Chains A and B, each alone.
Chain A
Amino acid sequence: MSIGLFMLLMVGAAVAVRFAPFLPERLRIPVSLAVLLGFLIWAPFTLDGFRTFQMTRITVWVIVIMGLNILTGYNGQISLGHGALVAVGAYTAAILMDSTEQISFVDANPWPFWSTIIVAGGLTAILGLLLGIPALRLSGPYLAIATLALVISLPSIIRKYDGFTGGGIGIRVGRTQPPGFLDGILNLDEWLYFLALFTAVLMLLLAWGILRGPLGRAFMAVRDSEVAAAAMGIDVARTKVTAFTISAFYAGVAGGLFTQVNGTITPESISIVESINFLVAIVIGGLASMMGSVIGAAAIIFLPTEGPELVGQIPYLQTDVVERAPGAIQGFLVILVMLLMPRGLAGFAHRLAALRPAAVVEGLRATPGRLRSRVEDARGGLFSLWDARPWNRQKPSHPDRPDGGEGG
């Protein structure tokens, strides 16, 4: 089955169940999530090898992006350096799994794969704790640049101290083979996909548990106003450091998984591009939204390849652009999502879900009148229709208010 048809079926089925009239309101969301999971379990058996591998990558990135969303979306600390944390996790797993003497300073016996993921997560969480404490002093763009400095420096450091990082060549451990009892049931690609899917579902459940509890509320309170949070008895510093630690744990687990899936790690595997992509993913997916993290991960994998291809199928469009400058389409799509959906794709989906048929009909009925008044406005000059003459029309704005004064 082609990936497009599969995605359409999966999303369609989940949406249909979400609004199914025969299900009680209480059951709709859990059942639609179960349908989603069912489709994801079916995925490797109907998609080809390349698509399965692509889905595996998405699943690994979901974990990082969920972690980054906890830090940035829920707690308001911007990090551009999550790639560095993922790299630390990946290298930890690779060093533990390596069997050559000179790199594996622990011992030459490779550790079992599952233990390396846990150790990678734990070690990166400790690193996150150590980074979170100095990060308390920095805010907003200063923190963003400081974390960006981290991810830019890491490749040079890895290359320079090649004693146990393998330098520029990196470490090759081979992809993790399926355990014996799965022989003949799953091939290598499918096994890696299910390993990643299992871990991701576990991590998402963990995030759900954290975010709906007191800690999650504390994260959001600190994000919205540190003073108000402190007045309510929340230890602001501890909450922020906790968010950093949890976020780093997610990055580390994803890094460990990355090593299992790719079988090799080099200084370039997780570079600044990935690091910036993680931030793009949480914003175009939806800040402070679990669904947004999943959608965002899929978006950063599919946008660079499928996006231009899809756009190329629009008739009369010059395919030359699509083939030779796919980045132009990708950048354009990212900007378009931001302009049309300020709360990201997940926020847009929420708005669609909240639409009631009566309201839609009412809106459609009002459209001709609104258009007519727009045209009448434009009589003064053609350009004012799209507000190209700033000196002619200006909307009063309230810079002190986050919604710019539009929210009544």
Chain B
Amino acid sequence: MELIGSGIGALLESPVFLAAPPWENPDLFGEQIVAGLATGSIYALMALAIVLIYRSTDVLNFAQGEMAMFGAFAMWSLWLAGLEPWQIIIIGVMLAAGIGAVIERLAIRPTQGAPQLNVVVVTLGLFILLNSVATWVWAQGDLPKVFPSPLSTTASVDIGIARITEHRILILGVGLSIMVALFALFNYTKLGLAMRATAQNRLASQLMGINVGRMLTLGWALSAAVGGLAGLLIAPITFLHPGFMFSVLIFAFAAAVLGGLNSPPGAVVGGFIIGVGENLLGTYTPQDILGTEMKLPLILLLLVIVLLVRPTGLFGQPEARRV
């Protein structure tokens, strides 16, 4: 009897999880949750950018991450030239909006009327193009490059349940306020109403006197600005290299699909779920059979399971189609 008892004891003592379970080390648990929420707000912003474009043009924009990466590298140059970190965030967002508008006019608008896969391939072409140009212009010498933040990335603050770095608080704050601002834009302004109308029915909006072309350009600019901001906020943590937005893009796609591709609130919820889930799975997985490297497959497996139960995501509406 005693032998069995000690056997179970040994089994419990040997580390099943990578870290101590939450009930033994609540601080670590809280830290993981808060840090997950901060990363989650980055994913949520990127997912919002993807959803904005998907709703208005029915296209998954694969170049979203590279547009943000390009802007971040350009801002890195300005930082070297002597601008303050908060200044480069403002200029960077404006530059990203410009890039988005130009891309919509030059590459996306001419494909109107073509099959949707064509537009997807155009965004894949943009992906290769932007990545290659950024590598050519900026990715020389030591990589990755350090990127500045207006707040410290090392000093941390105690917020009751956990300690969190100042920069992550900035991410959470900016992320949440952008989400609120977008919600207000779409629900309480005439411009937002016009953009929603354009996304819903182009012909009807045009007949109502909405300038559909300008709304589409504006939609791309807005989406690129939101995505660009996400890039500028995560760059101080991940550092800059030409591929730094790719994993963010994958998680953002997962978040957007999880929430439902035509639902902005869904994108936000999806982003936070993926962000927190990523941290928890990385910390509390059974060490032997799974481990940290299985974090990504597990998250994606979760996504596929949710999709099988709800094929258009948690909040997405199935598209009604006339037969």
Q: Which residue of A lies closest to B127 (CB)?
A: A331
**Are A399 and B203 touching (Cβ within 8 A)?**
yes
> A399: which of B126, B201, B214, B297 is its contact (CB, 8 Å)?
B201
Of residues 75 through 119 on chain B, the ones whose CB sits less than 8 Å from some CB of chain A are 105, 107, 110-115, 117-119
**Are A149 and B300 touching (Cβ within 8 A)?**
yes
Shortest B231–chain A CB gap in Å is 19
Residues of chain A with a CB closer than 8 A to B161's CB: none
Q: A327-B135, A331-B132 are in contact. Are A338 and B307 (CB under 8 A)?
A: no
Q: A134-B308, A137-B311, A331-B132 are in contact. Are A160 and B117 (CB under 8 A)?
A: no
Complex formed: what's the CA distance from A327 to B63 in Å? 14
Shortest B178–chain A CB gap in Å is 24
Q: Which residue of B lies closest to A283 (CB)?
A: B121
Complex formed: what's the CA distance from A144 to B124 in Å? 14
Residues of chain B with a CB closer than 8 A to A328's CB: 128-129, 132-133, 136
> B129: which of A228, A284, A327 is its contact (CB, 8 Å)?
A327
Q: Is chain A's interface secondary structure helix, strand, loop, or mixed overall?
A: helix
User: A2 in the interface, Cβ–Cβ < 8 Å?
Assistant: no
**Are A394 and B212 touching (Cβ within 8 A)?**
yes
Residues of chain B with a CB closer than 8 A to A382's CB: none
**Are A325 and B117 touching (Cβ within 8 A)?**
no
Q: Which stretch (A49-57, A151-159, A188-196) binds chain B?
A: A151-159
**Are A142 and B118 touching (Cβ within 8 A)?**
no
**Are A390 and B112 touching (Cβ within 8 A)?**
no
Complex formed: what's the CA distance from A398 to B118 in Å? 18
Residues of chain B with a CB closer than 8 A to A153's CB: 296-297, 300-301
Shortest A408–chain B CB gap in Å is 13
**Are A335 and B122 touching (Cβ within 8 A)?**
yes
> A283: which of B105, B117, B253 is its contact (CB, 8 Å)?
B117
User: B317 in the interface, Cβ–Cβ < 8 Å?
Assistant: no
User: B304 in the interface, Cβ–Cβ < 8 Å?
Assistant: yes
Q: Which residue of B lies closest to A394 (CB)?
A: B213
Residues of chain A with a CB closer than 8 A to B307's CB: 137-138, 142, 146
**Are A152 and B250 touching (Cβ within 8 A)?**
yes
**Are B203 and A397 touching (Cβ within 8 A)?**
yes
**Are B136 and A335 touching (Cβ within 8 A)?**
no
User: B211 in the interface, Cβ–Cβ < 8 Å?
Assistant: yes
> A342: which of B114, B120, B297 is its contact (CB, 8 Å)?
B114
Residues of chain B with a CB closer than 8 A to A23's CB: none
**Are B294 and A160 touching (Cβ within 8 A)?**
yes
Residues of chain A with a CB closer than 8 A to B128's CB: 327-328, 330-331, 334
**Are B294 and A338 touching (Cβ within 8 A)?**
no
Against B, the Cβ 8 Å flags (1 = close, 0 = not) of A124-158 are: 00000000001001110110111011101100110
Residues of chain B with a CB closer than 8 A to A146's CB: 257, 303-304, 307
User: B145 in the interface, Cβ–Cβ < 8 Å?
Assistant: no
**Are B303 and A327 touching (Cβ within 8 A)?**
no
Q: Which residue of A lies closest to B136 (CB)?
A: A325
Residues of chain B with a CB closer than 8 A to A324's CB: 136
User: A317 in the interface, Cβ–Cβ < 8 Å?
Assistant: no
Provide a sorted-by-A list of 10 A–B residue pairs whose CB atoms are within 8 angstroms: A149-B303, A150-B300, A152-B300, A156-B294, A279-B117, A325-B133, A335-B126, A338-B119, A398-B203, A399-B203
Q: Which A residues are within 8 Å of any B CB, using their own CB? A: 72, 78, 134, 137-139, 141-142, 144-146, 148-150, 152-153, 156-157, 159-160, 225, 227-228, 276, 279-280, 283-284, 287, 321, 324-328, 330-335, 338-339, 342, 388, 390-391, 394, 396-400, 402-406
